[in-house]
């Protein structure tokens, strides 16, 4: 018997809720700060819906060392991006969580990339991977997505200059083959696109697919949106297929990929909820609010339900013109930090 898709989706939602409740219980038992914060906020322990799953503001990971495993089980520490002197999030991973995130990322990207590893150009510098135990958001992204490629080539030198001759030689070697490109949005714009334009270089990436994410705020300051970004990369670099993705180091492995219509889609192991920035109540589809991300992956730290600092809108479920199923949404940018203080202060009070 074929299960109707809407029933299948309801079953997936129920399964996700069960796993999130299990994770909440696990983190209460193994992370004292998390337990104290939930007790202080009066959050429920056993949620009856995804909307009731207690969440933490992502900024708490900049203020506290939150982990649900013994220190000796930590194999990797991820840090968020930030300017000099700025506090960064610290995310502690054990082997189980790290392996699960890698496997899940592979399943999410299979529909786009297939099963074969592609020749891969990483639009960044190899120096970002110096410390194999402590990674920045950039390093974590490169490490995760590099699993989809082979014969990796780093397009930027250590001083962030473009390795023009090396890049040309690589593209010539794999001419006619599909090439995977990966990088962070603003860095691609600043160190690859702008450099090529400024120097009048003739570089065609040919039959390539680009995956990119992060840094949109800086591009919007330059009046560059997603459609403009895609158009200019096609016109100047010949990149025909471009997919933005939404994700964060605080919930690494939860990747929401952009479809051909410019919408971000939720995979089966994760979900998003949009909340009113003032009341924190869930809003209806089509209304803008704060993005809450849920994922069944984080077990080594309490990151399974997070309230982000990003504003977004859910547009619908199962009816995106691209043909992909599931909930689809868009992100419009960051909310002023002052708006989130009340929520964060409530949780911080639980640790005193």
- How far is Cα 57 from Cα 309, in angstroms, rounded to an integer? 8
Residues found in the chain: 352
Asked whether residue 345 carries a pLDDT value surpassing 90, the answer given is no
Sign of CA dihedral 98, 99, 104, 110: positive
Q: How far does the chain reach from its first CA to its final CA, in angstroms?
A: 55
- How far is Cα 336 from Cα 342, in angstroms, rounded to an integer? 13
* Average of per-residue pLDDT across 55-71: 94
Element (H, E) at 30: helix 5-30
DSSP state of 162: B
Q: What is the pLDDT of residues 190-249, one digit of tens each?
A: 999 999 999 999 999 988 999 998 766 667 677 678 888 899 999 999 998 999 999 888
- How far is Cα 243 from Cα 213, in angstroms, rounded to an integer? 9
Of 25, 28, 21, 70, give the one whose Cα is nearest residue 47.
21
Q: What is the pTM of this model?
A: 0.85
pLDDT score, position 3:
34
Give the 3-state secondary structure of residue 208.
strand
């Amino acid at each position: 018997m074929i299960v109707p898709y809407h029933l299948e989706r309801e079953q997936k939602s129920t399964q996700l809720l069960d796993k999130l409740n299990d994770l909440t219980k696990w983190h209460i038992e193994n992370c004292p700060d998390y337990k104290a914060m939930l007790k202080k906020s009066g959050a429920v322990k056993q949620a009856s819906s995804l909307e009731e799953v207690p969440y933490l503001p992502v900024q708490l990971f900049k203020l506290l060392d939150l982990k649900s495993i013994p220190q000796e089980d930590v194999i990797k520490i991820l840090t968020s991006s930030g300017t000099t002197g700025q506090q960064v999030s610290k995310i502690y991973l054990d082997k189980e969580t790290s392996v699960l995130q890698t496997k899940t990322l592979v399943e999410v990207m299979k529909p786009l990339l297939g099963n074969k590893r592609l020749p891969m150009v990483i639009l960044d510098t190899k120096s970002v991977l110096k410390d194999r135990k402590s990674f920045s958001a950039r390093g974590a992204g490169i490490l995760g997505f590099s699993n989809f490629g082979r014969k990796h080539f780093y397009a930027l030198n250590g001083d962030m200059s473009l390795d023009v001759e090396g890049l040309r030689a690589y593209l010539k070697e794999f001419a006619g083959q599909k090439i995977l490109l990966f990088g962070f949005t603003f860095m691609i714009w600043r160190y690859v696109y702008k450099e090529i334009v400024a120097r009048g270089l003739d570089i065609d990436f040919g039959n390539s697919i680009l995956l990119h994410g992060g840094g949109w705020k800086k591009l919007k300051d330059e009046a560059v949106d997603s459609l403009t970004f895609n158009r200019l990369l096609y016109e100047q670099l010949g990149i025909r297929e471009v997919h933005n993705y939404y994700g964060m180091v605080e919930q690494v492995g939860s990747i929401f990929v952009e479809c051909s219509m410019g919408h971000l889609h939720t995979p089966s192991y994760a979900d998003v909820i949009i909340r009113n920035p003032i009341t924190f109540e869930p809003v209806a589809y089509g209304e803008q609010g704060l993005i809450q991300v849920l994922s069944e992956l984080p077990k080594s730290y309490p990151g399974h339900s997070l309230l982000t600092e990003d504003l977004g809108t859910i547009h619908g479920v199962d009816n995106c013109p691209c043909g992909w199923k599931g909930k689809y949404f868009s992100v419009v940018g960051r909310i002023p930090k002052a708006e989130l203080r009340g929520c964060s202060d409530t949780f911080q009070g639980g640790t005193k």
